[in-house]
Structure 1
Amino acid sequence: MPSSIVENAQISHGIKVNRQQIIHQLVQVFLVGCMIGLTRTVLPGLASAEFGLAQQQFVLLTTFVVVFGLVKAAMNLFAGRLSERFGRRPVLIAGWLVALPIPFILYWAPNWYWIIVATVFLGLNQGLSWSMALNSKLDLAKASQRGLVNGLNEFSGYAAVGIAGLVSASLAVTLGAREALFVLSLAVMLLGLYLAICHIEETKSWSDEHAKQAEQGIAVPRKNGEKSESPAKSFKQLFAFATWQDKPLVALNQAGLVEKFVDALIWVLLPVYLLAQNISLVEASAIITIYGVVWGGTQLITGPLSDKIGRKALIVGGMWICGIGSYALIQTNTIWIWSLEAALIGVGMAMLYPTLGAAVADNSSAHERASLLGVYRFWRDFGYAIGALLMGLVAQYTGQIESAFELVAVSMLLSGLLVVLWVPSKRP
């Protein structure tokens, strides 16, 4: 078992020199992604088949995503701060420990409210484990590799989301939905915990070295070429700075929040919409899998591309492509065209998703990065809650699920416009 703290070791930044630990961290993200992917299509299907939620009960249907978003957002907010105090590895392991009840609740849940309880634990797992796996890779990498690191991270996580969704849907057809969720979630959770305990090393020493280099003027400077030499800010000050004081960070945080409208739409309402068009659970899951796999795979291109050409164009283009794709889904009626539209949305997400995180890191000094990324991920995943609630209310009020798709399309277009206005074109 590796030591939780690296002592008396030569610290070198870079993906190549730290490739073994980065691979382990990518496996962690893949497994965390699997945990959330298992619930795609299968849980919305369970809502109607076993818990009696009619298709018009949109607000109740979206509650599990609302709760997930609130919990994950809160964990993102504090995970960075916790990792600065206790280290990355203990927080990662804690994320897997809180996932222990999930398989059993999904299997024995007597009503929909127990499913909501399971998503509380799922949100805790995602907020702690995913955040720490990303922070650790950023610790290990060079500052010039942040876009690539974010691309690799999101590729691993969201490819897993898509693949696990298809596997769980296929297994649900043969074993049953509850049995499939129980077997797969238990296996993923135990494997993730084992690997975290036995193969993950603490990376906070690499983060400290980043901060030391920044103080010496070696690392990439902050905005306008100025070094960050201000006194350390409290977490409250950092939250205020990123939320309403610094225009670029405000624009990036709101873009992160709004882009989660798309993922919430595809998670909770697209399966319901597709199943209502009389296609099978596996066919609906395959369409959603295309979205996840394209999103994940394309980030291997868009992440490092943003290191070369800058972040803004990719963010804005991705926001607008996702908006157009979300609207197009309700204007078509064949599996092949839905699949193409899902792929288009996946490309848009790949353009904006790793780039947003890298842009926030660009605007953060080394000793504040974990906290500012935590603030960003708080607002980003709070978008699950806001988006799912708004979509449920709009669909419930109008009586038409298509209204939720239209809401997402307009929101993405307007959010991208704010990025155009407030985020500098050149990467800091």
Structure 2
Amino acid sequence: MTRNVKLGLKQNWKQFSLLVLINAFVGGMVGMERTIFPQFAQAQFGIDSKTAVLLFITAFGLSKAVANYYTGRLANTLGRRNLLLLGWLIAIPIPFMLIYAPSWNWVIWANVLLGFSQGLTWSSTVVMKIDLVGEQDRGFAMGLNEFAGYLAVGVVAFLTGLVADRYGVTPYPFYIGIFIATTGFLLTLLWVNDTRAFVQQESKTVTSTQVDNVFWETTVKNKTLSSVTQAGLVNNLNDGMIWGLFPIVLLSLHYTNETIGVLTAIYPSVWGIGQLVTGKMSDHYSKKRMLFWGMLLQGLAISIIPFMDAVYGFALISGLLGLGTALVYPTFLNTIAQATNPQQRAESIGTFRLWRDLGYAFGAILSGITADLFGIDYAIFLIGALTLLSALIIKVRMPASARPPVNTNTLSRVHP
């Protein structure tokens, strides 16, 4: 079954490039909501409460987290391609639900579906790319994957802001989502192949042991995996705050939708483009240092938001946030992949992505309640402090090496 399978980026560039393109469409589905949702909630449904507005991010984060976990658990049995197709099928009705939503509850349910769709599609493309390239170019592969996804988030965030500024917050911005979901499904259906055979091929040459409980190791026990997991959770905790509150801060300063679209697009765009460099860096430089400095830079950038009111200051903050996130995002996945056995890699990545995307829910709830009780500035300071604490945990707890334990029965096969 695996006789003609060859690992490597060059050997599998056609499938790899197709998956990069598909992940750009995956990211675009999130970008559709990134700029306009606070105004959409206020204009269409009269919702001003920060907690209520951020409920859509909570719904998204919870459902995406669950989908991430089960994508990892089911990847080896149901197949990566089948899960990717299912994710796109779930995405197709979402823009229509937003266009015709009679109440805010419909919007919440649309974001539940968006979370399930994102978990299935993004997790599948991540695992499939890791399967294809093998160990040598894994960080670079993750950089390309996340570059495509988050650059698309930024581009579509800008486009929806531009469209909303000229034609209103609904329905025209959501037409972009109809095109994205339909195209992503067709690309997957017609041209994507499953990659389980690549895992079997790689497993023939590895000597690392399998663990008894992947969830427990990834969440708590293994110092490398658990350090990465907590940082992933905090990263998306602060991203959830930025997603929900940053446009509200800009609206309070009377910026136009077009300007807000530009400022909110800088962060994911720098995040996406930066991963072309940082992904490759994670193949050669200390993963621990990259994670520490990335989380530290995020925390510092978030903490100065309340002191800004000029457009160039917000642009700088968005750029620094994007740079900090670019340092950690491909490094998260590269570290998880390096620290686990290939047969358990998908489940470990799924567990990591479960906790990471629960950060959206925790961040939205925590920042929303804090903003309603004490004001937006206090919510921002709190999230900034938690991000700085996460950097400290990386510094203190995470080992310098991410290698998994070696199976002593096959020690003679270990490569130097």
**What is the letter of the counterpart of residue 58 of structure 2?**
V
The reply to whether residue 102 of structure 1 matches residue 94 of structure 2 is yes
Superposed counterparts of 1:23-42, under 5 Å: 23-42=17-36
Q: What count of residue pairs does the alignment treat as equivalent?
A: 403
**What is the letter of the counterpart of residue 118 of structure 2?**
Q
Q: Give the Cα separation in 2 of the matches to 1:239 and 1:334.
A: 45
Residue 326 of structure 1 and its aligned partner are, at CA, apart by 0.7
Superposed counterparts of 1:224-263, under 5 Å: 227-228=208-209, 230=210, 233=212, 237-263=213-239
1:342 match: 318
TM-score (norm 1): 0.92
The reply to whether residue 426 of structure 1 matches residue 401 of structure 2 is yes
1:169 match: 161
Superposed counterparts of 1:17-416, under 5 Å: 17-54=11-48, 57-214=49-206, 217=207, 227-228=208-209, 230=210, 233=212, 237-398=213-374, 400-416=375-391
Contact 1:262 1:408 in 2 (8 A): yes
Question: Any unmatched runs of 5+ in structure 1?
Answer: 1-6, 218-226
2:414 match: none
Return closer, same or farther for 1:278/1:196 CA change in 2, 3 Å cut-off.
same
1:221 match: none
Residue 8 of structure 1 and its aligned partner are, at CA, apart by 6.9
Contact 2:2 2:200 in 1 (8 A): no
Contact 2:224 2:402 in 1 (8 A): no
Contact 1:62 1:388 in 2 (8 A): yes
Question: Any unmatched runs of 5+ in structure 2?
Answer: 404-416
Q: Give the Cα separation in 2 of the matches to 1:329 and 1:270.
A: 9
Residue 243 of structure 1 and its aligned partner are, at CA, apart by 1.4
Residue 142 of structure 1 and its aligned partner are, at CA, apart by 1.9
Q: Give the Cα separation in 1 of the matches to 2:165 and 2:257.
A: 8
Residue 173 of structure 1 and its aligned partner are, at CA, apart by 2.4
**Cα deviations across residues 307-348 of structure 1 (Å, max 9, x unaligned)?**
111201110101010011011121111101110111011000
State the Cα RMSD in Å: 1.2
Q: Give the Cα separation in 2 of the matches to 1:69 and 1:36.
A: 12
**Cα deviations across residues 3-62 of structure 1 (Å, max 9, x unaligned)?**
xxxx676111111110000011001110000000000121111111121112xx111111
Q: Give the Cα separation in 2 of the matches to 1:245 and 1:292.
A: 32
What secondary structure does 2:205 align onto?
A: helix
Q: Give the Cα separation in 1 of the matches to 2:164 and 2:378.
A: 30
What secondary structure does 2:34 align onto?
A: coil
